[in-house]
Structure 1
Amino acid sequence: MQTGTPWDFRSSQELLMSGIYTDEGYLIEDADYHYLELMKKEIESAFSEFTTLQKKKCVTLENAHQVIANDESNDLRLYIMQKISAGTSFQRNYYNSAKSIIHHLCGNELAMQKRPGLSINLPGNNSDILPIHADTWNGVSPFELNIWIPFVDCSDSMCLYILKREKYQERLKTCQGLLNLTSDELFNELRNDLTWIPIKYGKILAFDQSLPHGYSLNVETSSHWSMNCRFKGLHTPYWDKKLGEYFMPITVKNCTRLGIKYKHPDQWV
């Protein structure tokens, strides 16, 4: 990747990853498996609690649809999110599972989404569809990095889809009025240009949420489980999602801490 300036001191590895992310709009890397497993165990434990309370048998995440009815999907999602957001250990594990890719793409003085989002897409459940959108269309800062983690192997219609950057740039030049379409109309308009991203458990997807993306109807035989969480440079611009409300500072460096507390010695004047 050509940086175009002698003042770009990023490492060769960072430049390589940044080049792929810039060109494609996303990047897949290995998760830190230790922290990934800790997160999965918390999710599985909360899922087991939910099924026990509902007097259902315990099954794997992939087989959730065998015991969870379509109209129970959102109740299950909210129950698990409440459980894993009770403290900060899950968020710490989330950060550590993706620390390398976050640091390469986003920096190391960071703010993190307070409550990571959970997606459960049962086979054939229309209510689990996530309509095509870009987060920046709704007040989200373009300085954010979305770290998307699957907890099952995802293929075909179980995958997140995205409009790659090249296709997006082409459409910007050739199309007008697309944001006036309904989400179904927009999906059908862009469908042939969309890419469904296959990914296995153990991998992490970092993607640019300013590109159109979403989930289609899951027509596979397994349930989809994934989480998404946004990270951003602590000092980059915030739009509607504010620091201290939606985001929390997680790696504030010492010079920043001291700078915040600094008071000019006016009494010496």
Structure 2
Amino acid sequence: PTAVDSAGVDMVSFTGSTAVGRRIAEVCGRGMKRQLMELGGKGAAIVFEDADLEAAVRGIGTTFSFYSGQICTAPTRVLAHRPVYDRLVSGLAAYAGRLRVGDPRSPDTVVGPLISAAHRDRVESYVELGRKEGARVVTGGERPPLERGFYVSPTLLADCGPDMRVVREEIFGPVVVVLPFEDEEEALALADDSEYGLIDYVWSGDVARAFRVAGRLRSGGVGVNTVGRNMEAPFGGFKQSGVGRDVGVYALHAYTELQSLVWQS
């Protein structure tokens, strides 16, 4: 027996991959146990032509550095409005090129190692797959010349298509893919063309458009002109990104059972 199917466990909260989440859900289903699952993501970052591009680059650039991209909320799938596509790609490439890769104990290190050699090899295989699929490696794509540790250089793949595996699958490393879009409707269609729906992002100088687009995205959360999170806001995903909501008062609902009492007055 496992902890999940133990008779002493009434509810399971899990953060991890969608594949493992499915296995846990199957076990929970047999015992009618409640679940709270925060699973995979492939966050879309929609950048419109009127966006503050420097701010967008800084926000998207956190994918390269924050946990070395090993986080499901990262904006790894950039959708760039055609008029600013080249400028955004250049900005992201320059940003990635300035990041120092190395020992996390060093104060000037920005990008640390991945969790294991096996995962490093997996991330590198995705970069090579992107090349074969026709993506353009703008920067990165090589293994840093470091003696110890499982490092991958911050990598930017441009000129990607929506059917590429590097666009559709969670890589979980310092790798960002970029696709162009022509108008708002295409941006929404591309963003929602994913099995995931955890957190998406919108950058625009038009507040009305930003909120309109955010409200139409099929994701559990949307960052408007920011990658920051409010720790009182509910956190969780749509589609294959999970079940339920955690964080803040909403988490209390997940971790409690309601009981009704009716009596005659």
TM over 0.5: no
Q: Which has the higher contact order (CA 8 A, sep 6+)?
A: 1
TM-score by length of 2: 0.24
TM-score by length of 1: 0.24
Higher helix share: 1
